Amino acid sequence: MLELGLHLLIYAVLFGFFALITRRATVRALFLAAAVYAVHELALRYGQAIPTPGFLSGSQWNWMGKLAAIAALLAMLPLLSAAERRETGLSVRFKKGWLIRSLPALIFLIAIPIAFARNATRQAWSTETLLFQATLPGIDEELAYRGLMLAVLNVAFLRPWKFCGTPIGPALFITSIMFGVAHGVTVGESGVSINAFNLARTTFGGLLYGYIMESCGTLVAPIVAHNISNTARYLFVMMK
C-alpha cells in the first residue's frame, strides 16, 4: 500500500503541475483518474489470489490478476460522464488517416524492444508466454491508461497542442509518466527503489501508445500495438 500511495502522490504532483500550466482542471478528474489507477493496481495485485483454473496451474504469468483488472475497470465505466465514455475509444471506428500517422510509432514499438533484447539471454520456448503477451497485457493496461485515465484527463485538460497533426494534451504526458512509474518505481523493505531503465522505457512506450490512441481514436489500436510489441520481443528472445 505504501507503493500505491507513493504512485498516487506522484500522480497528484503531475496533475497539479499541468493544472497550473493550463489553468484547466477539476477535483473530480483528479480523484476519478486516481481511482482508475488505484483500482487497476489493486486488482492486479489481489487478483492473483483468485483460484487459477486447472489448465493454468503452475503458470508463470498473472492471468487471474489481469482478468480481475479488466473486469474491475469495465465496472468503473458507469462512473464516467457521457463525454468521458466517448473519449475511451471503446469502438472500432478509426479516424481518417490513422494508418499513416500511427505506423511509425508501431515500428518504434517493435524495433526498440528487440534492439534492447539483442544481448539478452536466450529463453526457452514457451507457448504460454506468447499466448499471454499476445492477449492480456495490452487489454488491461491500455484499458486503464489509454482508455479510462486518458479519457477522464482529456476531458479535464482538453488537447491544446498538436504533434504531427494529432491533437494532444497534458493527459498524454500524465498517463505515460504514470505508466512508467507503475513499472519502474517500487517500495520494499529497503525503501524506495527506482529502476531508471524500466521507468524511461515504459514512459516512452506510454507516449507511443498514447499517440497511437490519439491518432486512431479507438482503443483497439493501442491494444493491438501493445500486444504486437510484447510478443515480438519475447519471440525474438526465444528464437535467438
Q: Per-residue pLDDT averaged across 210-222, rounded?
A: 98
| pLDDT band with cut points at 50, 70 and 90 for residue 88 | very high
Asked whether the beta carbons of 180 and 199 are under 8 A apart, the reply is yes
pLDDT per residue over 6-60, tens digit each?
999 999 999 999 999 999 889 999 999 999 999 999 999 999 888 888 777 778 8
- Is 73 a residue whose pLDDT tops 80? yes
Q: How many domains does the chain have?
A: 1
Between the CA of residue 206 and those of 50, 128, 189, what are the distances in Å?
29, 25, 28
Q: Which residues contact 98 (CB under 8 A, 6 or more apart)?
A: 215, 216, 217, 221
Give residue 43's domain range: 2-238
Asked whether the beta carbons of 117 and 233 are under 8 A apart, the reply is yes
